[in-house]
Amino acid sequence: MSASVLYSTPLTLIDGTETTFGQFAGKAVLVVNVASKCGFTPQYAGLEALHQKYQDEGLVVLGLPCNQFMGQEPGAEAEIESFCQMNYGVTFPLSVKVDVRGKHQHPLYAQLTKFKSGLLPGLIKWNFEKFLVSPDGEIVDRFASTVEPESGEIVQAIEKTLAADAA
């Protein structure tokens, strides 16, 4: 897939700012579909820790709230943003609520889910699936919901991606 396709994808941030995924060009991006009332919600802490640890090296964590899995993100954008900041100190960017599968699938997920990795082909299975996008816009890895953000698997992939860009 061409990076220009990914970078031209429209994106609306949680504060209503209209932009494109291209605003992250030149950065590694960990894209995660998030939810406030999910068993994996505590992963917000690990995602924020990754964001803090690697942001100066060029990593952005991007959370896309989704209510498609058992209604686990029922709140409006202001509630979601407040929940994330108050409970997990989230400073990484969040989008407005999106669909990650189905008829109204967000265009970013239409592109991301073309990337197949081991046991994770195609459709998003649940909240907190993670995609790592390189600074040149290529999807380089995909992680299941059960893989903790600060796991060796994800940290190693991020460090390898950032090192490849620095080389």
Chain center to CA of 60 = 9
- Residues sharing a CB contact under 8 Å with residue 31, sequence separation 6 or more, in sequence order: 62, 64, 108, 112, 130, 131, 132, 133
For 28, half-sphere exposure in the C-beta direction (CA atoms, 13 angstrom radius) is 27
Element holding 85 (H helix, E strand) = helix 77-88
Active-site annotation holder among 29, 32, 34, 38: 38
Contact residues for 87 (Cβ-Cβ < 8 A; gap 6+)? 44
Q: What is the DSSP code (8-state) at residue 15? A: T
Is residue 38 annotated as a catalytic residue, yes or no? yes
| E-assigned strand segments in the chain | 10-12, 18-20, 28-34, 59-65, 130-133, 139-143
Catalytic residue list? 38
